[in-house]
């Protein structure tokens, strides 16, 4: 009897394990549908949405965390003005300068006339004209200052109105995002109860892997709205009402991004140096190695890897291999051969140098979003994602596992094949 019970238990365990496997095609479809719904709600059902370029990774699933959906910052805030404008500086008084200019010209004319002294009566008349001119110019100066003050006051009123509209739009969009999470979040069907759905500002013109250097510009004062899948499902099942479900959603409106801790910054610097053009033995980093830290998830590093440069009209140079003037076929074959070493070296380097990272909170991860060099028809992936959990680092430091075991615990996901 115990034997059969054990067999049944094993079958249930296997079935549960298989059920937890994510079907990437289904997940991709669910994410596209979810992003489309979110776009429509935020953009008030307008037909103009974000780019449909398949390279634009606006959404992503991260095992152990959940789903991140992107929201364009420009659509949330609407306007780029601020009511905190400095007061208008005083207008310079140009009337005195103009009056003096006239007088200099008049004095030159007097000097060029007869050498006889100007009669007192004529001199008095001239001084009278000059006084009247100064008075007239002063009046015009006062009128200009008054008109400038009125214009500035009107501009301030307009800016305050636009700030008010911006805030109303931001509140409306936050409500739309919350409604989206409660009413449509369940459409991402493969998520676990422990997962989260995070809607976070990113630029609609920044591809998730390519142009990684621009990610650094998106890190301050971002809107983010986060919900637990468990709470969404509880609402859908009628276990909690809408008011309670909303209260469990976390809305971040102003969150200053903290700089990476020193150990993470040092780790980032080391990896970046290892994959510099002059040191790498395979592919090298293009455009820096920006990082993004998300509380509860960990740190995402972006690596845009390239392999070669153009040489002439149809030749190629591969700097890390000191190869020059290769044909397209020779270049592609070399890049294809280098890929296995690149993948293996990246695993090794991450494990070796991440051992000095101590500030990563428990439950978080080091995540590497890697854009692999272009090589059409080479059978290598377009992208890689590597995830290393803080628990693995902790076990490695304590000696519970060795580096080889730690490397096996890195989760590696590959994108579409080129």
pLDDT (tens digit per residue) in 171-223: 777 888 899 999 989 889 899 999 999 988 764 433 444 444 444 444 445 67
Of 18-22, 53-57, 295-299, the one with minimum mean pLDDT is 53-57
269 and 401 inside one domain: yes
Cα–Cα distance, 148 to 91 (Å, whole number):
8
Provide the pLDDT for residue 117.
Answer: 56
Q: Rg for the chain (alpha carbons), in Å?
A: 33
For residues 156 and 258, what is the distance between their CA atoms, to the nearest angstrom?
Answer: 33
Confirm whether 122 is domain-assigned: no
266 and 242 in one domain?
no
Last residue of a domain, one of 229, 256, 283: 256
* Of 416 and 255, the one with more pLDDT: 416
Residues 6+ away with beta carbon under 8 Å from 188: 27, 30, 31, 34, 67, 197
Across the range 137-159, mean pLDDT stands at 75
Mean pLDDT of 22-36: 85
41 and 159 in a common domain: yes
Residue 380 in any domain: the answer is yes
Residue 39 pLDDT exceeds 60: yes
234 with 264, same domain?
no
Range of the domain at 384: 258-418
Per-residue model confidence (pLDDT) at position 3: 45
Whether residues 41 and 58 share a domain: the answer is yes
Q: For residue 270, tell me if it sits in a domain.
A: yes
- The verdict on 247 and 363 lying in the same domain is no
Residues 301 and 238 in one domain: no
> Do both 293 and 177 map to the same domain?
no
Q: pTM for the whole thing? A: 0.61
Return the structure tokens found at 170: 């931001």
Report pLDDT for 269: 94
My answer on whether 329 and 252 are in the same domain is: no
Domain final residue, candidates 224, 256, 288: 256
Residue 115: inside a domain: no
122-130 contacts: CB < 8 A, separation 24 or more? 130/99, 130/102, 130/103, 130/106
> What is the C-alpha to C-alpha distance for residues 382 and 378, in angstroms, rounded to an integer?
10
Please report, rounded to a whole number, the percentage of residues in the chain having pLDDT higher than 90.
40
Position 97 in a domain: no
Q: Distance between CA 344 and CA 258 in Å, rounded?
A: 32
Whether residue 126 is contained in a domain is answered as no
- Cα–Cα distance between 176 and 27 in angstroms, integer? 23
Give the model's pLDDT for residue 320.
95
267-282 exposure pattern, b = at least 16 Cβ within 10 A, e = fewer: bbeebeebbeeeebeb
Reference 162, options 108, 82, 230; nearest CA is 82
Q: What is the total count of domains within the chain?
A: 2
> Are 231 and 363 within one domain?
no
Question: Per the domain annotation, does 116 fall within a domain?
Answer: no
Same domain, yes or no: 231 and 297:
no
How do residues 64-116 score in pLDDT, each as one tens digit? 888 888 875 544 343 344 445 555 556 566 656 666 666 666 665 555 455 45
Verify that 240 and 287 share a domain, yes or no. no
Question: Average pLDDT of 221-241?
Answer: 88
Mean pLDDT across the stretch 304-331? 92
Where does a domain end: 256, 278, 308?
256
Mean pLDDT of 111-123: 59
What's the pLDDT band for 4 if we cut at 50, 70, 90? very low
Q: Are 308 and 316 in contact (CB under 8 A)?
A: yes
Say if 284 falls within a structural domain: yes
């Amino acid at each position: 009897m115990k034997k059969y019970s054990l067999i049944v238990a094993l079958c249930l365990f296997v079935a549960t394990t298989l059920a937890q496997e994510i079907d990437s095609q289904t997940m991709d479809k669910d994410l596209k549908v979810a992003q489309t719904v979110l776009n429509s709600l935020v953009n008030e059902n307008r037909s103009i949405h974000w780019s449909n370029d398949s390279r634009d990774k606006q959404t992503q699933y991260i095992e152990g965390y959940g789903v991140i959906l992107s929201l364009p910052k420009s659509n949330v805030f609407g306007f780029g003005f601020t009511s905190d404008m400095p007061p208008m500086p005083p207008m310079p008084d140009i009337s005195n300068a103009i009056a003096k200019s006239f007088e200099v010209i008049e004095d030159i004319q007097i000097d060029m006339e007869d050498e006889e002294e100007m009669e007192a009566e004529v001199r008095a008349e001239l001084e009278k004209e000059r006084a009247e001119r100064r008075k007239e110019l002063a009046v015009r100066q006062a009128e200009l200052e008054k008109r400038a003050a009125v214009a500035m006051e009107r501009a301030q009123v307009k800016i305050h109105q636009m700030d008010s509209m911006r805030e109303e739009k931001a509140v409306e969009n936050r409500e739309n995002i919350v409604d989206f999470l409660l009413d449509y979040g369940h459409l991402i069907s493969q998520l676990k109860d422990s997962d989260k759905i995070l809607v976070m500002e990113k630029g609609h013109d920044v591809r998730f892997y390519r142009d990684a250097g621009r990610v650094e510009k998106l890190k301050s004062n971002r809107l983010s709205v986060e919900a637990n899948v468990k709470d969404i499902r509880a609402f859908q099942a009628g276990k909690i009402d809408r008011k309670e479900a909303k209260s469990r959603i976390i809305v971040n409106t102003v969150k200053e991004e903290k700089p990476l801790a020193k150990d993470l910054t040092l780790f980032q610097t080391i990896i970046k140096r290892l994959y510099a053009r002059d040191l790498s033995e395979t592919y090298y980093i293009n455009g820096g190695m920006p990082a993004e830290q998300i509380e509860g998830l960990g740190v995402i590093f972006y690596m845009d890897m390239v392999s070669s440069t153009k040489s002439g009209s149809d030749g190629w140079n591969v700097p890390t291999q000191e190869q020059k003037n290769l044909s397209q076929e020779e270049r592609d074959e070399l890049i294809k051969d280098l890929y296995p070493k690149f993948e293996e070296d990246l695993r090794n380097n991450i494990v070796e140098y991440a051992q000095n990272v101590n500030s990563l909170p428990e439950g978080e991860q080091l995540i590497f979003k890697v854009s692999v060099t272009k090589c059409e028809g080479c059978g290598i992936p377009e992208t890689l994602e590597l995830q290393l959990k803080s628990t693995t680092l902790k076990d490695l430091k304590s000696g519970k596992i060795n580096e080889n075991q730690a490397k096996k615990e890195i989760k590696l996901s590959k994108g579409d094949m080129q």
